Amino acid sequence: MHSQAANLDKITIPEAAIDAVVGYLVVFVGLFLLMAVIILMGNAMVSSRKAAKAAPAAVVSAPAAPAPESKPAPGSAGEVKLYDVPDREAAMIMAIVADRMGKPLNELRFKSIKEVK
């Protein structure tokens, strides 16, 4: 009767090399398949996100009717006259003033904002 330990003593160098190469191939084929699955899933997610974003964009792209003039929303303080100040900068200035004063923005009234040169 031969034991397995006796069979391992008889393995030759070329057989060991073939076993090693087959083992490496199995590992790399498995890694390649895993990479392919991850790439396919990523592409599916990206295309589903693009489709989801494209649908609302089509609805928004329709020309909007001009809003009827009405009185300001509750809590707003009316219109602000801007002199040489872009809307974005005016909004930042109002937010900074409200923060420094410790009051909500809807409790403050800005009549005009003018850039000092």
Residue 73 lies in a domain: no
Residue 43 lies in a domain: yes
- The total domain count for the chain is 2
Residue 68 lies in a domain: no
**What pLDDT does residue 1 have?**
47
The pLDDT confidence band at residue 94, using thresholds 50, 70 and 90, is: confident
**What pLDDT does residue 83 have?**
84
Which residues, 6 or more positions from 114, have their beta carbon under 8 angstroms from its beta carbon? 82, 83, 84, 85
Query: Tens digits of per-residue pLDDT, 48-90?
Result: 888 777 766 555 555 555 555 656 556 566 678 888 888 888 8
State which residues form the domain around 107.
81-114
Give the residues across from 81 on adjacent strands: 112
* pTM of the predicted protein model: 0.38
